[in-house]
A and B are shown apart, each in its own frame.
Chain A
Amino acid sequence: MGKSVIFNRLTGVDVISSNYPGTTIDYTKGYLNIHGERAELIDVPGTYSLEPTCKAEEIAVEMLKDGDIFINVVDATNLERSLNLTLQLIRYKKPLLVALNLFDETQHIGIYINTEKLQQILGVPCIPTCALTGEGIKGLVSKINDACTSDFIFNNSQRWNEIGKIIDEVQEIKHKHHTFSEKLRDASIKPLTGIPILILVLLLTFLLIRFIGESLISFVFEPFFEEVWSPIMLSFSELLGKSGFIHDLLIGKLLNGTIDYGQSFGLFTTGLFVPLGAVLPYVFAFFTVLAILEDSGYLPRVAVMTDNIMHRTGLHGLAIIPMLLGFGCNVPGVLATRILESRKEKFIAATLMSVAVPCMALQAMLFGLLGQYGIKGIGIVFGTLIIVWLILGLFLKRIIKGTSPEIFVEIPPYRIPYFKGLIKKIWMRLRWFIKEAVPFVLLGVLIANILYTSGIMQFISRISAPVFNHLLGLPGEASSALIMGFLRKDLAVGMLIPLNMTFKQLVVASVVLSMYFPCVATFTVLLKELGIKDLLKSTTIMILSAFITGSLVNLVLSL
Chain B
Amino acid sequence: MVTLIDLPVGKKGIIKAINGGHNLLQKLDNMGIRSGTEITKISRQWNKGPVTIRFGNNEIAIGHGMAGKIMIELI
Q: Which A residues form the contact surface with B (CB < 8 A)?
A: 48-49, 51, 53, 77-78, 80-81, 84, 109, 111, 160, 185-186, 189-191, 194, 300, 303-305, 307-308, 316-317, 405-413
Contact = CB atoms under 8 A, between A and B. Distances in A.
B43 A317 contact: no
Contacts of B60: 408-411
B27 interface: yes
B75 interface: no
B5 to A, nearest CB: 13
B9 interface: yes
A111 B59 contact: no
Contacts of A109: 57
B52 A51 contact: no
B26 A194 contact: no
A51 B43 contact: no
Given A194-B43, A307-B63, A410-B59, 10 more contacts: A48-B31, A49-B30, A51-B30, A81-B32, A308-B49, A316-B63, A317-B61, A406-B62, A408-B62, A413-B59
Interface centre among A77, A191, A194, A303 (most CB of B within 10 A): A191
B35 to A, nearest CB: 10
Interface of B: 9, 23, 26-27, 29-32, 34, 42-50, 52, 56-66
Contact of A317 (B27, B29, B50, B65): B50
A355 B51 CA distance: 31
Contacts of A48: 30-31
17 contacts: A51-B26, A53-B23, A80-B32, A81-B31, A81-B32, A186-B42, A189-B52, A190-B42, A191-B44, A191-B45, A191-B46, A304-B49, A304-B61, A307-B49, A307-B63, A410-B31, A411-B59
Which of A111, A185, A407, A410 has most B Cβ within 10 Å?
A407
B40 to A, nearest CB: 10
A160 B35 CA distance: 11
Given A300-B61, A408-B63, A308 B34 contact: no
Given A300-B61, A407-B50, A53 B32 contact: no
B74 to A, nearest CB: 20
A407 B61 contact: yes
Contact of B27 (A53, A80, A84): A53
